[in-house]
Structure 1
Amino acid sequence: MKLSVELQNQINQLNQLRKQALKQEQEEQKLFEKNKINDLADFGKQLNAQRKLLGIELITLEMQTGVSSSTLKRLFKDPSQVKFQTVYVVAETLGFNLCAINTHKSEES
Structure 2
Amino acid sequence: MSELLNDVKKTLLLQAQESDLLLNEKIVSETIHLGQQLNQRRKDLDIDLPTLELQTGVSASTLKRLFKDPDQVKFGTVLRVADALGVKLCAAV
The answer to whether TM tops 0.5 is yes
- TM-score normalised by structure 1 residue count: 0.70
Larger Rg: 1
Aligned to 1:62: 53
Report how far residue 66 of structure 1 moved: 1.6
Q: Secondary structure at the match of 1:16?
A: helix
Listed as ranges, the gaps of 5+ residues in structure 2 are: none
Q: Secondary structure at the match of 1:19?
A: helix
Matched AA of 1:46: Q
Of 57-66 and 47-56, the range deviating more from structure 2: 47-56
Residue 28 (structure 2) pairs with residue 44 (structure 1): no
Aligned to 2:69: 78
- TM-score normalised by structure 2 residue count: 0.80
Aligned partners of 1:37 and 1:25: how far apart in 2? 20
Q: CA separation of 1:23/1:53 partners in 2, compared to 1, >3 Å: closer, same or farther?
A: closer
Give the root-mean-square deviation of aligned CA atoms.
Answer: 1.9
Deviant stretches of 4+, over 4 Å: none
Q: Deviations over 1:12-65 (max 9, x none)?
A: 233222212211110011101111112211221222233233332222111101
Aligned to 2:6: 15
Report how far residue 97 of structure 1 moved: 2.7
Aligned to 2:89: 98
Identity %: 52
How many residue pairs were aligned?
93
Matched AA of 1:42: H
Aligned partners of 1:17 and 1:39: how far apart in 2? 38
Q: Which one has more relative contact order, counting CA pairs under 8 Å at least 6 apart?
A: 2
